Amino acid sequence: MSKQIQDVYVVAATRAPIGKAPKGVFRNTRPDDLLVHTLRSALAQVPSLDPAAIEDVIAGCAIPEAQQGLNVARTSALLAGLPDTVGGVTVNRFCASGLTAVAIAADRIRVGEAEVMIAAGTESMSMVPMMGNRPSINPRVFLPDEDVGIAYGMGLTAEKVAQQWSVSREDQDAFALESHRRAIAAQQMGEFDDEISPIEIGERIAHLDTGELELRTRTVSKDEGPRADTSLEALAKLRPVFASPRGVDGKPTGMGSVTAGNSSQTSDGSGALILVSESALKRFSLTPLARFVSFSVRGVPPAIMGIGPKEAIPVALKTAGLSIDDLGWIELNEAFAAQSLAVIRELGLDPARVNPLGGAIALGHPLGATGAIRSATVVHGLRRRNLKYGMVTMCVGTGMGAAGIFERV
């Protein structure tokens, strides 16, 4: 390549609170409106930046259709008031969509093709169902045995990981409880305040006695998912929802340990980061929050998609010239407790450094937005706790793992 590779810096990182789906606080809030909010909030963090200098808005979205279709990135960029000259593109890598957006934005700057980029993500699981409104899987998937895993529900892949890596139901429930405990403690200590941009939403209240509709507004400022009232006893009472402990012949299957309580919550949310080159830092007098160091993605068999981070993490570390011990903060997306524990044990991750503020089991997992959301968590967490390196990693549907590393500067 003829152009010099250069460093990329994060100068703004924020997210909306995460709402429960499908009946939570954002059940009537469009995903593009959530994205507009986080774009504006990120820009507000860097008032000296000229928006006209932004090359592109790259937004992750796992199910880019209906309310979040028609290139939601470009539409939201315009609705957020960005100049017409700013582009917009929507990317889909399922659960790693938001992190992939960060990596693509960083690469455009690294090779000298852009100076300022926005990476973001948005997802409304209240408005757009998990597999979309008209899912249609290629019939060929069901012909060769090795491709059937593409059609597996994510919960069944978690069951297979739990079975293959011997992750017990008891350990899964304990992991889920700890996720809620950490999230509640973090909320009480105000640890999410740096990363969350509160959002005002409108609600229509019907007065049955008069037949009138009243529009009320309220501000949402914290994640809706964490539960202070959960317990091991309550989690143990939940029945497996993806596989039966016994097959049709009545014999034990060795499966049936993944429940709603030890799985990630379906959610609504959005996040956004602004990335710039070193020359843009100086030109607009910006203060860097972090440097984006490396990114990797690796494939695994679709039937055990949850183990994906086990393959992606070592590659991201090698590219960065780092070891596991160098990571002070690890955001391992808790799609399921089963796959999280399998990855932690296989790679020897320090549980104290993994999801110190809780994870998706408590906080929620708005699919395509999660990578951007958790990147904001890492960027602010590193600075708050004076740590050097942090990582965002997740498993991905159809059998992938992704990992991105950030450095506090």
Active-site positions?
95, 365, 395
Residue 16's identity, in one-letter code, is A
Q: Which of 408, 397, 400, 407 is nearest to 315 (CA)?
A: 400
Q: What angle do CA 55, 56, 62 make, to 5 degrees?
A: 165
Q: Where would I find the H helices in 94-146?
A: 97-110
Rounded CA-CA distance 251/248 in Å is 8
Q: Nearest-CA neighbor of 53 among 99, 109, 122, 120?
A: 109
Q: What is the DSSP letter of 262?
A: T
- Asked if 362 and 180 touch (Cβ cutoff 8 Å), the reply is yes
* Element housing 391 (H / E): strand 389-396
Contact 121, 371 (CB under 8 A): yes
Cα dihedral 24, 30, 34, 37 sign: negative
Residue type at 57 in one-letter notation = V
Block residue for tokens 């997740």: 394
